[in-house]
Structure 1
Amino acid sequence: MRLPKTAHTTRPWRIHEIAPDFRVEDVWALPTPGGPDDLDRLVRQMAGGDEIENVVVRTLFTVRWKLGEVLGWDDSEEGVGGRVPSLRDRLPDDLRAVPGPDMRSYPFTSVYQTRDEWVAELANRTVHTLMHIGWVRDGRDGYHAQMTALVKPNGLLGEAYMAGILPFRYALVYPRVLDTIGRRWRAGAEP
């Protein structure tokens, strides 16, 4: 379920002090009911996925990566450590010591992981983006994850790119990714 941006901005996340120059693009509640210490389990599931399961999402990503290859958007000098320094360079020592796992199926690099936050980053010629996974109380006796996309578009190209992918994100990508996360979560929760 899509959430208002304040669902992220009003919480005392560490990411606020580290990335104040990134804007909140999207906030989603993830179908991951659990206990107070289950973020690590979710992070392992998200980072360890071997492939993009949904054919629609896989096709969109394949088209996007091919377009990026042709246009040079994803060249190594355009990414983290090239066009932009890693967010890890901004971390205080306590967060630098807890990097968290990188993702296998997506080109995100982990920045840090705490008991209730995990941040991974991706950069290319169009945008520097952060995926923030927060573990929050559900208003009852449980917890669940909240996923926030924070972005810093690279000039007019980046702004145009973000506007161009918006309908695909809302109509095709997010619903299917959330469904996959929920399905994997339920499968992992079974005895």
Structure 2
Amino acid sequence: MRLPSTAHTTQPWLIHEIAADFRLEDVWALPTPGGPDGFATLVSVLQDGDFQQDAPKAARLLWRLRWKVGAAVGVDGNRDGLDTRVQSLRHRLPPELREAAATRPDEGRSPFTFLYELGNERAAEIANRTMHGVVHLGWVPNGEGGWRGQMAVLVKPNGRRGTAYMAAIKPFRHLIIYPAMMRSWERRWQHQWENGTKVPTLRHHDPPAIRP
């Protein structure tokens, strides 16, 4: 489910220093209940997932259409990405994290570039002609004695075109893409538990899968 901005801004995370000039677009509670040491499992589940395979047909089509349209109109051109149109946020990291990021392998199928992983938080970034964005993952207490994942999306639109683009895709993200992603992650999280990890099964008071 969507959360208020304070669910992200009140956490003592490094991302607040690294992306202070970015706008907080969304904060989501992830349907991934666990204990205090569950962050590594969260990262593994999300990295191993394949949204284009797991999502409902409508979400898959919309996701693919986004990248095809982006390629056709030049939104995702090589000259519009990180360290070309905009400087990567890696340059703002402390030296030790910057060095770790430089030796990090590619994120596989993900279009995002790894930024850092520190304690119970992880960040990756992306840039194109319309915006510079960050996806931030955290592991937080759920207020009921357990823990869960949390995702925040931060953006810096590229002028009026970027602002208009973000406004245009917002309904699709909230009604189709994000709910489908949450359901996919919930299924993968449950699968981890069923296969003998320390991840507990969902309880009635844990965050449910988000529905449109």
For residue 83 of structure 1, report the CA deviation from its aligned partner: 0.8
> Does residue 136 of structure 2 align to residue 132 of structure 1?
yes
> Does residue 32 of structure 2 align to residue 45 of structure 1?
no
Corresponding residue number in structure 1 for 2:83: 81
CA distance, structure 1, for counterparts of residue 106 and residue 181 of structure 2: 18
Number of residue pairs matched?
Answer: 191
Corresponding residue number in structure 2 for 1:32: 32
Give unpaired runs (5+ residues) of structure 2: 197-212
- 1:82-125 deviation digits (Å, cap 9, x = unpaired): 11111111100243355477533330111001121010111100
Equivalent position amino acid for 2:80 in 1: E
Find the partner of 1:107 among 107, 111, 116.
111
CA distance, structure 1, for counterparts of residue 171 and residue 142 of structure 2: 28
For residue 69 of structure 1, report the CA deviation from its aligned partner: 0.8
Measured at CA, do residues 145 and 121 of structure 1 come closer, stay the same or move farther in structure 2, by a change above 3 Å? same
Corresponding residue number in structure 2 for 1:144: 148
> Would the aligned equivalents of 1:51 and 1:105 in 2 still touch at CA under 8 Å?
no
Measured at CA, do residues 181 and 50 of structure 1 come closer, stay the same or move farther in structure 2, by a change above 3 Å? closer
CA distance, structure 1, for counterparts of residue 9 and residue 41 of structure 2: 24
| SS in structure 1 at match of 2:138 | strand
Where in structure 1 do 4 or more consecutive aligned residues deviate above 6 Å? none
Measured at CA, do residues 132 and 101 of structure 1 come closer, stay the same or move farther in structure 2, by a change above 3 Å? farther
Corresponding residue number in structure 2 for 1:5: 5
For residue 153 of structure 1, report the CA deviation from its aligned partner: 0.4
CA distance, structure 2, for counterparts of residue 105 and residue 125 of structure 1: 21
Corresponding residue number in structure 1 for 2:59: 57
CA distance, structure 1, for counterparts of residue 193 and residue 31 of structure 2: 12
Report matched runs for 1:149-188 at 5 Å. 149-188=153-192
Find the partner of 1:90 among 84, 92, 117.
92
> Does residue 71 of structure 2 align to residue 69 of structure 1?
yes
> Would the aligned equivalents of 1:128 and 1:151 in 2 still touch at CA under 8 Å?
yes
| SS in structure 2 at match of 1:80 | coil
For residue 49 of structure 1, report the CA deviation from its aligned partner: 2.4
Measured at CA, do residues 147 and 102 of structure 1 come closer, stay the same or move farther in structure 2, by a change above 3 Å? farther
TM-score for the superposition, normalised by structure 2? 0.85
TM-score for the superposition, normalised by structure 1? 0.94
| SS in structure 1 at match of 2:27 | strand
| SS in structure 1 at match of 2:152 | strand
Give unpaired runs (5+ residues) of structure 1: none
> Would the aligned equivalents of 1:47 and 1:102 in 2 still touch at CA under 8 Å?
no
> Would the aligned equivalents of 2:49 and 2:185 in 1 still touch at CA under 8 Å?
no
> Would the aligned equivalents of 1:46 and 1:103 in 2 still touch at CA under 8 Å?
no
> Would the aligned equivalents of 1:118 and 1:134 in 2 still touch at CA under 8 Å?
yes
CA distance, structure 1, for counterparts of residue 64 and residue 41 of structure 2: 28
